[in-house]
């Protein structure tokens, strides 16, 4: 089936440009368009509970399956957790240094609302907060709008299914089908993104003028630079120290896959090619077959950086910056919530909105600020995630003694080219929950 998301990409770009024009030429009219952005964010919020439930339940199941394969699965999962933490820390440091959104104080009304919400939160005791995580019923967690309640029920369900063993398999398959339904709904909602982006950008530009464009440009450029530094410095150094493989040679070897991701706006299309190319490079079939699909669900370095910087941007832009403790707690939640999330377009926005709703509800409306530029940042997320998984396959193969470095040298030098005829691009996708369905978040 032909991928139509490229048309959505063009539509969002056109909507952003039109919103900028309206905001600059008719600022009062632009500010009146804010409900369009607010409405789109509300649609995203509508599916947050089911998304969190399905992804966490399947994520816990994926961890169990990966752990069953022994050393390979354990090393892969440990590495994924470590690199996700490093990515979050880097995003946190860069975000606090550049302070994205500074000077963009949207309106006094937004600032007053944030202060009121913060005061309300201060009145609640820790005990009240903890008791509020427990839902009234098992199913009400998915309808109450409380992300933390949905997370609790999802974790309980996931561990219960593990304890049930084979008897829990039919239920897990049912959750997989529910996940398909929820993400199909989300993909439908994302077709309203041009309307939401138009309203959000027009309102922001109408309220703050050129300052909004400067702030949005700063966070976009900073995000791209941060992703480049993470891949080039962090991943490049680890790859050389562990496997003595040059990162740029590896990325050049995967050049066709990177172009495929850019042209289709999805890294899912490159996943079977990545597995085949890692095997051709010298990574054993076992390591490639376990590490790459699992990494598509659990090794989301680009997404971690995005969630960090977007959160700091929204907090500053709405006049309610997050304290350091709030940043750590919120990002820890997002790191958990994003694991195992099927990577349909919009999952990144959903995770961002869910984290804010759980920790700082007053900032949820600020997600509308990101809608207009999310599509521009999503490509960098996908490419960073993809590069991270390629490096992970080589590293895990090296640690387990299942990587042929001599063959890799011949392949990267061009003396053993990959046979494109050996790979069918039309390979059947695997079931959700196997890790194969991840694209970008």
pLDDT tens per residue across span 248-305: 999 999 988 887 676 555 566 577 778 889 989 999 887 887 788 778 777 888 888 8
The model's pTM is 0.69
> What pLDDT score does 372 carry?
67
d(C-alpha 44, C-alpha 59), whole Å: 21
**SS3 of 403, please?**
strand
List, in sequence order, the alpha helices (H) in 165-321.
169-189, 193-208, 210-229, 236-243, 247-253, 255-264, 271-281, 285-298, 301-317
Q: According to the model, what pLDDT value does residue 137 have? A: 80
pLDDT at 388: 92
Encode burial over 33-69: b for 16+ CB neighbours within 10 A, e otherwise: bbebbbebbebbbebbbbbbbbbbbbbbbbbeebeee
pLDDT value of position 62: 58
User: Which tokens hold the place of 221?
Assistant: 């450029």
Q: Which residues pair with 403 in a beta bridge?
A: 283
CB-based contact 154:139 (threshold 8 Å): no
Residue 41 to residue 196: CA distance in whole angstroms = 8
* Contact residues for 364 (Cβ-Cβ < 8 A; gap 6+): 41, 45, 353, 356, 357
Half-sphere exposure of residue 323, counting CA atoms within 13 Å on the CB side?
4
Using 50 as the pLDDT threshold, list the residues of the chain that sit under it: 1, 107-125, 340-344, 424-441
Residue 267 is classified by DSSP as S
Which of 14, 378, 47 is CA-nearest to residue 194? 14
pLDDT at 390: 93
Domain annotation for the chain: domains and CATH numbers? 5-422 (1.10.3860)
State how far the Cα of 308 lies from the Cα of 117, in Å rounded to an integer.
21
For residue 392, the model assigns a pLDDT of 94
The pLDDT, as a whole number, for residue 387 is 92
């Amino acid at each position: 089936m032909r991928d139509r998301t490229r048309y959505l990409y063009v539509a969002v770009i056109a909507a952003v440009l039109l919103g900028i024009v309206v905001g600059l030429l008719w600022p009062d009219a632009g500010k009146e368009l804010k409900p369009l952005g607010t409405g789109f964010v509300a649609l995203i919020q509508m599916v947050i509970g089911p998304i969190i439930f399905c992804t966490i339940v399947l994520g816990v199941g994926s961890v169990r399956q990966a752990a069953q394969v022994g050393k390979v699965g354990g090393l892969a999962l440990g590495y994924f957790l470590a690199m996700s933490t490093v990515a979050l820390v880097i995003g946190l440091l860069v975000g606090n240094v550049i302070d994205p959104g500074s000077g963009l104080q949207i309106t006094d009304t937004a600032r007053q609302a944030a202060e009121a919400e913060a005061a309300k939160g201060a009145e609640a005791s820790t005990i009240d907060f903890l008791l509020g995580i427990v839902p009234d019923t098992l199913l009400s967690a998915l309808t109450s709008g409380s992300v933390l309640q949905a997370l609790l029920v999802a974790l309980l369900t996931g561990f219960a299914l593990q304890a049930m063993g084979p008897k829990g398999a039919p239920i897990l398959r049912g959750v997989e089908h529910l996940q398909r339904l929820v993400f199909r709904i989300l993909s439908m909602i994302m077709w309203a993104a041009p309307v939401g982006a138009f309203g959000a950008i027009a309102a922001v530009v109408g309220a703050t003028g050129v300052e909004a464009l400067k702030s949005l440009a700063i966070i976009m450029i900073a995000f791209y630079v941060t992703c480049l530094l993470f891949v080039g410095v962090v991943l490049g150094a680890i790859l050389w120290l562990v496997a003595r493989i040059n990162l740029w040679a590896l990325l050049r070897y995967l050049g066709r896959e990177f172009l495929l991701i850019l042209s289709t706006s999805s890294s899912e299309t490159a996943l079977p090619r990545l597995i085949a190319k890692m095997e051709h490079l010298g990574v054993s079939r076992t390591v490639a077959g376990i590490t790459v699909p699992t990494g598509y669900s659990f090794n989301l370095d680009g997404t971690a950086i995005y969630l960090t910087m977007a959160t700091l941007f929204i907090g500053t832009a709405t006049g309610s910056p997050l304290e350091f403790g709030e940043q750590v707690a919120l990002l820890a939640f997002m790191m958990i919530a994003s694991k195992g999330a099927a990577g349909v377009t919009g999952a990144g926005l959903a995770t961002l909105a869910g984290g804010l709703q759980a920790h700082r509800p007053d900032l949820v409306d600020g997600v509308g600020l990101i809608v207009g530029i999310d599509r521009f940042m999503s490509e960098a997320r996908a490419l960073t995630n993809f590069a991270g998984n390629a490096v992970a396959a080589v590293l895990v193969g090296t640690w387990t003694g299942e990587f042929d470095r001599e063959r890799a040298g011949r392949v990267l030098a061009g003396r053993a080219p990959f046979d494109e005829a050996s790979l069918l691009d039309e390979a059947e996708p695997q079931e959700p929950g196997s890790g194969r369905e991840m694209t970008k978040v």
